[in-house]
Amino acid sequence: MKKKIIGAIIIVIVLGAAAFFMMNRGIVVEVEMAAVTQGNIAKYVEELGVVKTKNQASVYADTAGRVTDVLVKEGEQVNTGDVLVRLDSQQLSRQKRELEAQRLGIIAQYNEATQSIDEKEIEKLELEIEVIERRIKEAKRVVENNKRLYEAGAISYEEYNITVTSLEAEQSNLEGVQLDLELIKKPISENISAQYEAQLRQLDIQMEALESQSGDFVITAHMSGTVLMKAVEKGSYVQPGVPLLEIGDTEILYIESDLLIGDIANVEVGAPVIISNKDLRIIDLQGTVTKIHPQAFSSVSDLGIEQKRIKVDIEFEGSVAILRPGYDLDVNIIIESKENVLLIPENAIFQQAGRDFVFVNVNEQAILREIEKGIESQRRVEIVSGLQKGDQVIVSPSGELEEGVQIKSK
C-alpha cells in the first residue's frame, strides 16, 4: 500500500514539472543584458573641496581711524613693504603738539623752582640781622637798668614794661629776618624736584608711544602676493582687528575639503584623489591627501542637521592655470581600489534570504546564480565568485522573471 502511495506522489511531481515546463515553454521575456567585464574599480569618499592658497594672510589696521587712501585693487600684485592703505593721522599730530606744550610748561615751572640763589638778597638780610642784634643788645641793657629803677621805686611799672615790650618786639623781628635768610639759602626740596622729573618722564613715554603709532597710520604688505579680497574704501572708518585685505600667493594652490567623521576613518595621508568640475571642464585631475587636520568641528548641513567634520588638505599633481582661490571642486578620495577584477552593473544584483543573486543567460534561459560581491562604486560591483568574464547577466530583472523562463534581448 505504501509503495503505491509513494509512486503516486512521484508521478504527480513529474507531471507538475512537465506541466510547468510546457506552460513556460511558450513564454519569452524581453530583458536587458550586460556582459561581465574585467577592469579596475575604486571606492571613493565623495565631497566638495575649496581651492585655497598655501601662503595667505589677512591685513589688519593696528589703530582706529578714517581711511584717506586705498592704493590697491583686487587681483593686483603687491610686494612686501608696499603701502596698501593710509589712515588720517591729524589726530596723532594734535596729540603730539599737546604733549610738547605740556612739556614746555613743566620745564618752565621746574626752572623757576630751581633758579640760582640771590647773593645780594642774602647780604642784605645778614646786615639787617646784625643791626637788629645790636638793637636787641641795647634793649636788654635798658631793660636791666629800668628793672633796678623800678625795684628802687624810681620809675613806674608802666615805664618799665614799655622797655620789656620793645625788647620782645626786636627779638620777634630778628626771628622773622633769620627765617627769611634760611629760606633763601635753602635749595629746592628733593621731593618737589622728583615730582617735576617724574612728570617730564611721563610725557616722554607718552611721546614715544605716539611716535611708535606713526607707522600704524600707514598699512603695508607683510608678504608678496595677489590681493584676493578688499573690504575697505576711501572715507570709511576702520577699527583695530578688522580685516581690510586678503593677500595670497596664487602660484601655490591646494584644496581644502571637510569630511564627515564617518568617512575620515578610511582616509589616510597619501591617498590618491580624483578632482573634477564640469563647469571648468576639469576631468580626472590627479591629487593627493597631504594633511588630515587634528581637530573636528561642527557644521550645519543644508537640511539643518548638525554634523561633525574634519578638514583635509589635498595637493594637485601638476598645475591648472584656470584655478583661482575660492573655486569649488568635486573631490573623490580613493580609499580602496582593485585592478583586473570582474565587474557587473549594480542593478543586476538582488537579494533572496539575505544572499546576493543574479540571473544569467544560459542558452536563452534565465538561470539563477548566487554571487559574492567585492567593492561597490559608481553603480558597478566587483564579483569575487559566481560568475566568469563574458557571462551575460540580466539588468534590472522584473518580477515576472523566474528561473528557467525563456528570454531574449531587448
Q: How is residue 408 written as a grid cell? A: 531574449
Residue 347 exposed, middle or buried by CB count within 10 Å (0-12, 13-18, 19+): middle
CA-based max dimension of the chain = 191
296-348 pLDDT tens trace: 999 998 888 999 999 999 999 877 788 888 899 999 999 999 999 999 999 99
- Count the Cβ atoms, other than its own, within 10 Å of residue 38: 11
**Domain 26-40+339-409: top CATH class:** mainly beta
Q: pLDDT band at residue 17, thresholds of 50, 70 and 90?
A: very low
Residues 128-131: contacts with CB within 8 Å, 24+ apart?
Answer: 128/177, 129/174, 129/177, 129/178, 129/181
Domain 44-55+249-337: which topology? Elongation Factor Tu (Ef-tu); domain 3 (2.40.30)
pLDDT score, position 373: 95
pLDDT tens for 139-179 read 999 999 989 988 888 888 888 888 888 888 889 889 988 88
Helix axis angle for 119-152 and 157-185, nearest 10°, is 160
Cα separation, 74 vs 245, whole angstroms: 9
pLDDT at 20 over 70: no
Q: What distance in Å separates the CA atoms of residue 287 and residue 273, rounded to the nearest whole number? A: 5
What one-character-per-residue DSSP string does 48-92 give? EEEEEESSEEEEE-SS-EEEEEE---TT-EE-TT-EEEEE--HHH
